[in-house]
Structure 1
Amino acid sequence: MRKTAVAAVLLAVFISYSACAPKVVKEEPTFSMTFTKKAAPVPTRCSAAAYYYFSIYSLLRHQNKPLASIEYLRKAVDADPESAYLKVELASLLLKAGKVEEARHLCEDALLLDPGNTTARLVLGGIYSATDKVDEAIKQYEAIIANNPENSDVFLFLASLYANQLKYEKAIEVLKRLREKEPDEAVPLYYLGKIYTELKLYKKAEHYYREALKKDAHFYDALFELGLIYEFTDRKKEAIDIYQRLLKQKPDDLKAMERLGQLYIAIGKTDLALKVFSRLKKTGRAPLGIDVKLALIYFQLGKYNEATGILEPLHKQHPAQDRITFYLASSLEAQGELSRALKLFSLIQPQSDFYYDAQIHAAYLLEKQGLYQRGIEIVESLVKEYPDKTSLYRMLSSLYEKSGNGTKAVAVLKKALVKFPDDYQLIFALGALYHTLGDEQRSIATMRELLKENPDDATVLNFIGYTYVELGVQLDDAEKLIRKALSLKPDSGFILDSMGWLFYAKGDYKQALDYLLRAVKQIPDDPVILEHLGDVYQKLGEKERAREMYQRSLKIKKEKRVAAKLEALKKP
């Protein structure tokens, strides 16, 4: 039993895999594969008329004239209605023409005439399988195995049907019988591996794939499935090795390239993923999704121009593809083209899987442009549609606060806390809002409630400590809080900034400088940390460095307070 023959006659066997998880795929058989490989032999023991018509049929078939050949084969059957051979031959030809029911009747008639006709049972089994009469198909294949066990392909047909019915034990039994019959063949081992993969018995699946590869070291499908097993069992390096081996066998293999690229993304090697997907694209046979993946890799690398360059033409070609629209809008947003991004996000409709995220982005862009009321309208609409998403209440409150309506901002969070009284993030948002509105007493009280629940929350510890420093009160308590926060998160730029600002408040400018330099190393583009550094340098008499820090701060965010400090440095 050769692998090429098996591949030709299998019903495109039962199990296929997507990028992330196994699933069963059932395909219709190509009935003509087995029965029309060679020119039809001349039937024996038929009437002279049937022989005459069959000869013309053979000639027309050789000349590739299917309609005419069917007509003469029908005449041959009519001339010799007792010939099972002629009926099966006609059934096979009719299947190619899509006349399934007529072919089925002919095969059933042929079996009445000749119950041992293996070809009739094969064709009939295929017809039953394609028309969802699986039990009938199984009966035909089992009858063939009982009468003609040398037909190895039928074992695979039968196993595939059992597997499609999720009768895996029976499928395994059939394949093991075939393995005993064909001990030197890799194919039964391979399909045993496929079934065990479907059952998520990955160790057994790996065993059978390895056994198949011992029989045939170049068995591509077994090697590919072994790579998937490594992925399923989180052995990424071994999976990468497999796909690299496959690409040495088939340098332009799409499946192996796509899996390899995905693995490089998974392990954070986006540069290698970019090379693989670029190579895949150059084959000219890459699916649409590869272009999108290439764009996303460029996006992750911060190469927004390249990402947009791929996505814009794709969007023009496929304007209804929401995924492309969303990613193009995201890339434009990253490039600062807010109006174009907002327009694209607004194109995505409620039925889309990308709708919610698109609306969130749209509200954020409106907030960034100072169009708070439009942003509020979007988020209020989302709250009605997704009332259990607490992040929406926080966003809505922020929009109200930035629009100048602090009272409404507080009301939104308090209303949300009635429904979600223990939501940590909502409580934190309320405490932070009180701080923004200048109600430090309520802010600290709210944050203290969070500390009761989680005394090791570094963010809350830092928040209270920094607030004390800003107010210039309870500096010793502030130091305790900030030091504890720093012990929990020693590399946090914001907590290092709080400690530096505490020493600044205490007049210890050298200590302040040390902490603030460590903070700016962690977060080099935070305008507040840069401002604090400028203040320390000014106190230390280093005006040029103070000027540099204020300028850097203003470049990131325009603040009148910082501009005034910069202007003051010009005075003698």
Structure 2
Amino acid sequence: MKKSYVYIACLIVFLLAIVAIVVKYNNSEKEKESMVYELLPRKGAANESKEWKEVQKKAGVLFEALKQDPNDINASLKLAALYIQEARESGNYMYYDRAAMKSVNTVLKIDSLNFNGLVFKSLIYLSQHHFAEGLAAAQKARSVNPYNAYVYGLMVDGNVEMGNYDSAVADADKMVSIRPDLTSYSRVSYLREIFGNYKSSIEAMKMAAEAGGQGDEHTEWTRVQLASLYEKTGDYKTAENLYRQSLSMRPNYPYALAGLARVAVAANDNKKAIELYEKADGLINDNSMKEELVDLYRQSGQDKKATDLAKQIIEDLSKDAEAGDKDESIGHYADRELAYAYLKVNNVDKALEHALLEYNRRPENIDANETVAWVYYSKGEYSKALPYIKTALKTNSKNPVLLSRAGMIFLKSGEKEMAKNMLQQASGTNSYVGYTLKAETTTAMQSL
């Protein structure tokens, strides 16, 4: 009899716990639904710009429209677009991705096949590095409207990140045939770069930059990408001119400032590079700039500053990842970035953990394979690195960093002819690949 009472008591406690969890979950969902995502202040001079005032005004109009009618699909879509662009402008992707996804989900609850809603959902997933989900959403949008160019662009992005390169090429061809513009030409350029053709990649990116409006953020982003292509081929003069042109069109554009910083690094002017990176970092949240600063601080003898910043990067990236565990609408898969961040603090075991997490999500992607290969190289496990670096080279990419890393892995694995081939290709571009890697490859070339 006593056992029966104990059983009943345990069952009641269990049921009460379940009820409490459900109530807490429902309350949490209601909070998310009722939350209004105000615009966050921009960093530095951008917070005083005329453009920022206009963005705030537009947001105010949309907030008021949704206050009057929460089911206003047009207002929700415009607000989602505003949030997505503000993420690009500020670098506050986690906050604005969550805000945009809330607006998009409002639309899709009303109309599950709303084309623009599906397009935005795909775009947000891709921004969060949820590449499989982003590709699936884009494919669903295509089923609603197979004649829209932009949706094929999203499929290009998703297929590239998942390692489906032939499908990405087919999607890019379809995109250009429907609407040849900045977004389609830039994707063609990116694919040509992946397949190792820098000359035609530059031609396509030039067409993309010329197709955009001068000073527009998307145009200047494209111009910066064009300059980056020149960097990778060792033409730093042209790259510098393009970065300066971008800054004349869009003053204090952080990505152009970061580009000038890279040009300064290549010219061995670390002091100037640090100043430029710090200025850019003060304008936008971007961990890639901080990672460059870590290396520059170390080279300049500022070890404590470098270590503190490296730890901050890991902390920031980890917060994004942890947020994703709690809420799939805001989570950012940052394992590839975390792998490299942990390498900067010599924690190779954590680096491998994150590199493999990234690889397991997209085993055909060349960047994911390169990351695993380089972590194994850093651990001194060269035979394990070899198959991954071979996969990373499958598209015939001529990225000088990839070629340099491949050369070092082949050398340590005893494949000297392959090592020599890779290192000669990398050095032939005269492109800066980083202080440590450059030192390693220079020594290696002397031994071959």
Q: TM-score, normalised by structure 1?
A: 0.38
Higher relative contact order, chain-length normalized (CA < 8 Å, sep 6+): 2
Bigger radius of gyration among the two: 1
Q: TM-score, normalised by structure 2?
A: 0.47
More helix by share: 2
